[in-house]
C-alpha cells in the first residue's frame, strides 16, 4: 500500500486518490469525491500539521503512534490530533478500500472469517449496513479483525475516532458523515450504503485482513 499514511511523520501530506475522481461513478459521484478529498481531507491534514508543528518532540512519531495513546500527548493539542489525525488516517483507509467495481465479494481467508463471524455474506452486509444506517451523527463504521486472530467485529467510531491499533486492524471502513454522500443522496443514507458495496475493493480488504490476522 504505497499511499498508506499510517507511517507518515510530520509534516503530514495528502496522497492523491488511487484512482480518478469519477472512477466510483455512479455509486459515488465525481463532485463528492473532489470536495471530500481535496477540501475535507486536505483540511484535516493541514490542521494536523498546524497542531503538531509546535511540538518538536512529536516530529519523530508516526501517525499511528500519535493516535495510539492520546493521553500521552500534550493536552493543548490532544483534541486537534484526535480529530484531524483520525480524519487523515480514516480517509486514507476509506479511499484505499474502494475502487472501480471489481469483484463483488471477498475470497480466501476473509470470506471464511466473515462466514464464521456473521453467517452468509448477505447476513454480514445486512449487519454492517444496518449499523451504518443507524449510526447517530457524524462518524465511521469499520470491520476490524482482532490482531493475531481471524475474529471479526463491526466497530462504530464517533467523529474521527480510529480503530484501536493496539488490539485490532481495520479491514473495511465506511464514512457516514453527511459530507460523504449529501450532494448525491441528501438524507438517503441507506441508498448511499447500498451503492457503496459496488465500489468496495475486496482485494484491498483481504490484504488488510491478512496483515491483521498475522499481527501480534
Ligand atoms: Mn469524510
Let me know if residue 146 belongs to a domain: yes
> 42, 14 in Cβ contact below 8 A?
yes
In terms of domains, do 139 and 196 share one? yes
- How much distance in Å is there from the Cα of 132 to the middle of ligand 1? 14
Domain co-membership, 207 together with 148:
yes
Say yes or no: 135 and 42 in one domain: no
Do 125 and 190 fall into the same domain? yes
CA of residue 127 to ligand 1 center, whole Å: 22
Ligand 1: distance of its center to the CA of 26 in Å? 18
Q: Residue 154 has what pLDDT?
A: 98
Residue 2 has pLDDT above 60, yes or no: no
Q: Mean pLDDT over residues 24-34, rounded? A: 98
Using CA atoms, how far residue 89 sits from 144, 154, 156, in Å, is 15, 18, 16
Last residue of a domain, one of 70, 96, 122: 96
Q: What is the 206 CA–ligand 1 centroid distance (Å)? A: 23
The answer to whether residue 148 is domain-embedded is: yes
Work out the pLDDT band at 216, boundaries 50, 70, 90: confident
Is there a domain that residue 61 lies in? Answer: yes
Q: Which three cell numbers stand for residue 207?
A: 490484504
Residues 58 and 115 placed together within one structural domain of the fold: no
Question: Using the 8-state DSSP alphabet, how is residue 145 labeled?
Answer: E
How far is Cα 188 from Cα 168, in angstroms, rounded to an integer?
31
- Same domain as 170, residue 83: no
Mean pLDDT to the nearest integer, 186-206: 97
81 and 143 co-located in one domain:
no
- Structure letter (DSSP) for residue 141: E
The pLDDT of residue 3 is 59
Distance CA 115, CA 110 (A): 9
Same domain (yes/no): 82, 139: no
Measured in angstroms, how far is the CA atom of residue 84 from the centroid of ligand 1? 11
Per-residue pLDDT band at 141 (split at 50, 70, 90): very high
Q: Residue 9: inside a domain, yes or no?
A: no
What mean pLDDT is predicted for residues 69-97?
A: 97
Residues 140 and 170 placed together within one structural domain of the fold: yes
Quick one: average pLDDT of 168-179?
97
What pLDDT score was predicted for residue 1? 45
203 and 120 assigned to the same domain: yes
Say if 42 falls within a structural domain: yes
pLDDT at residue 162, rounded to an integer: 98
Q: Is residue 13 part of a domain?
A: no
pLDDT at 98 over 60: yes
pLDDT at 196 over 90: yes
Domain match, 92 and 181 both: no
Domain boundary among 43, 63, 96: 96
Q: Please state, rounded to an integer, the average pLDDT across all residues of the chain.
A: 96
Q: What angle do CA 74, 158, 86 make, to 5 degrees?
A: 45
How many other C-beta atoms can be found within 10 angstroms of the C-beta atom of residue 31?
12
Quote the ligand 1 centre to 88 CA distance (angstroms): 9
Q: Is 66 a domain residue?
A: yes
Residue 6 has pLDDT above 80, yes or no: yes
- Is residue 192 within 8 A of residue 181, CB to CB? The reply is yes
pLDDT digits (tens, 9 = 90+) for 153-163: 999 999 999 99
DSSP string covering 65-109, please?
Answer: HHHHTGGGS-HHHHHHIIIIIHHHHHHHHHHHTB-SS--SS--HH
Same domain, 57 and 81: yes
Determine the distance separating the centroid of ligand 1 and the alpha carbon of 33, expressed in angstroms: 10
With b for 16 or more beta-carbon neighbours within 10 A and e for fewer, the 193-212 pattern comes to bebbeebbbbebbbbbbbeb
Confidence band for 149, pLDDT divided at 50, 70 and 90: very high
Q: Determine which helix (DSSP H) or strand (DSSP E) holds 158, and give its type and residue range.
A: strand 152-158
pTM for the whole thing? Answer: 0.96
In the predicted structure, residue 94 carries a pLDDT above the cut 50: yes
188: in domain: yes
Rounded to the nearest angstrom, the distance between the alpha carbon of 116 and the centre of ligand 1 is 31
- Could you give the number of structural domains in the chain? 2
The share of the chain scoring above pLDDT 70, in percent, equals: 99
Do 63 and 8 form a contact (C-beta atoms < 8 A)? yes
Report percent pLDDT > 90 for the chain: 95
Domain that holds residue 60: 28-96
Q: 36: CA distance to ligand 1 center in Å? A: 6
Amino acid at each position: 500500500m504505497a499511499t498508506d499514511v499510517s507511517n507518515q511523520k510530520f509534516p503530514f501530506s495528502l496522497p492523491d486518490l488511487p484512482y480518478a475522481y469519477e472512477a466510483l461513478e455512479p455509486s459515488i459521484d465525481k463532485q463528492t469525491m473532489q470536495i471530500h478529498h481535496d477540501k475535507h481531507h486536505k483540511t484535516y491534514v493541514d490542521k494536523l500539521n498546524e497542531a503538531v508543528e509546535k511540538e518538536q518532540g512529536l516530529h519523530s512519531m508516526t501517525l499511528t503512534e500519535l493516535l495510539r495513546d492520546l493521553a500521552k500527548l500534550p493536552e493543548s493539542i490532544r483534541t486537534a490530533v484526535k480529530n484531524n489525525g483520525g480524519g487523515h488516517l480514516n480517509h486514507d483507509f476509506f479511499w484505499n478500500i474502494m475502487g472501480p467495481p471489481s469483484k463483488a465479494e471477498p475470497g480466501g481467508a476473509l470470506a471464511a472469517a466473515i462466514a464464521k463471524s456473521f453467517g452468509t455474506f448477505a447476513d454480514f452486509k445486512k449487519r454492517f449496513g444496518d449499523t451504518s444506517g443507524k449510526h447517530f451523527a457524524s462518524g465511521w463504521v469499520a470491520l476490524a479483525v482482532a490482531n493475531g486472530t481471524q475474529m471479526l467485529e463491526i466497530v462504530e467510531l464517533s467523529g474521527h475516532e480510529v480503530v484501536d491499533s493496539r488490539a485490532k486492524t481495520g479491514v473495511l471502513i465506511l464514512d457516514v458523515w453527511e459530507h460523504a454522500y449529501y450532494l448525491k443522496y441528501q438524507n438517503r443514507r441507506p441508498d448511499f450504503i447500498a451503492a457503496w458495496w459496488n465500489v468496495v475493493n475486496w482485494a484491498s480488504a483481504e490484504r488488510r485482513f491478512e496483515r491483521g490476522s498475522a499481527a501480534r
